[in-house]
Amino acid sequence: MRELLFKNVTIIGVGLIGASCALALKGRGLCGTVHGYGRKEANLKQAKELGIIDEYSLEITKACEDADLVILSTPVGLFRNIVLEMRDVLKNDTLVTDVGSVKGPLVNELEELMPEGVHYIGSHPIAGSDRSGILTARADLFDGVRCIITPTSRSEESSVRQITTLWESCGGKVEIMDPILHDEIYAAVSHLPHLIAYALVNTVDDINAEYLNYAGSGFKDTTRIALSSPELWRDISLLNGNNLIALIERFGNNLNVIASLIRNAEAAGLEHEFSKARTLREKC
């Protein structure tokens, strides 16, 4: 029988990722009990009935008071207030991590808010879906996926090892990364594409929303991620705003290049731009 990594785990935010964390931990025998916390009792009650969590609480202090591991799985904009609410009840040596897709300065801020003896290590499993909710949760969601861990110069090596073991035991492929670099990378390959998808759908709506009824697979594939949670992506956009503003401007420049080529009927130039993108995309 596999040795328990953590006796008591608390999941803050039992949605797709939080519930999948619970299922992965429980399904692999990595923890004892999983305690859920969230704003909607109906969701927590359903999660318990489905065996995703063992118990739940609508009081964050009650949910966290006996935790050995706390996983923050809410929109990233809530992290700071959540930590402020729970930190006074956390036990010595409790480990706190998260599954948010923004790190950067937020990692240092959360680290500073931890009481003495409590350790925070940022995490970002590159897994998910445009759909949310516990009914889409899977125990194998993290199998084979990259999981970024973003320690700082103040992080204890033992805590980094624990979080590494956590994600590897859940099936992930762990990579250690500087939190600032993390935000630069994921602004380009994740956050910007979501903003473009939202903007593209709204652009069609500006012309005529009825046109969306004629959308084929290309449009639907391109804009699938516009189905993602507006609350989640609001917070990501604001917390990684500087990187995104620079990228939006760069993206606009690339669109202007294409517009100029079309305006001037430069077929060779257009083909070059498209071929360049195709070749790069084939490497993904």
**pLDDT tens for residues 189-217?**
999 999 999 999 999 999 999 999 999 99
CATH of domain 181-282: 1.10.3660.10
Q: How many CA atoms lie within 13 A of 59 on its CB side?
A: 4
Identify the pLDDT of residue 130.
66
Query: CA-CA distance, 90 to 66, in Å (whole number)?
Result: 7
Average pLDDT of the chain, as a whole number: 95
Q: Which of 56, 72, 146, 59 is nearest to 109 (CA)?
A: 72
What is the number of other CB atoms lying within 10 angstroms of the CB of residue 47? 26
φ/ψ of 173, rounded to 5, equals: -105, 105
Residue 77 has pLDDT above 70, yes or no: yes
Identify the pLDDT of residue 138.
93
Rounded average pLDDT over 34-45: 95
Residue 133 has pLDDT above 90, yes or no: no
Residue 4 has pLDDT above 90, yes or no: no
Specify which residues 122 forms β-bridges with: 150
Residue 58 has pLDDT above 70, yes or no: yes
Residue 284 has pLDDT above 90, yes or no: no
What is the number of other CB atoms lying within 10 angstroms of the CB of residue 175? 15
Identify the pLDDT of residue 248.
98
Q: Which of 246, 260, 238 is nearest to 79 (CA)?
A: 238
Rounded average pLDDT over 58-64: 96
Identify the pLDDT of residue 60.
96
Superfamily of domain 6-177: NAD(P)-binding Rossmann-like Domain (3.40.50.720)
pTM of this structure: 0.93
* Percent of the chain whose pLDDT exceeds 70: 99
Using pLDDT thresholds of 50, 70 and 90, give the confidence band for residue 3: confident
Identify the pLDDT of residue 215.
96
Rounded average pLDDT over 99-126: 96
Query: CA-CA distance, 60 to 74, in Å (whole number)?
Result: 13
What is the number of other CB atoms lying within 10 angstroms of the CB of residue 62? 16
Residue 267 has pLDDT above 70, yes or no: yes
Q: Domain ranges for the chain, please list them.
A: 6-177, 181-282
Rounded average pLDDT over 31-55: 96
pLDDT, tens only, 142-169: 999 999 999 999 999 999 999 999 999 9
Identify the pLDDT of residue 128.
76
Rounded average pLDDT over 52-79: 96
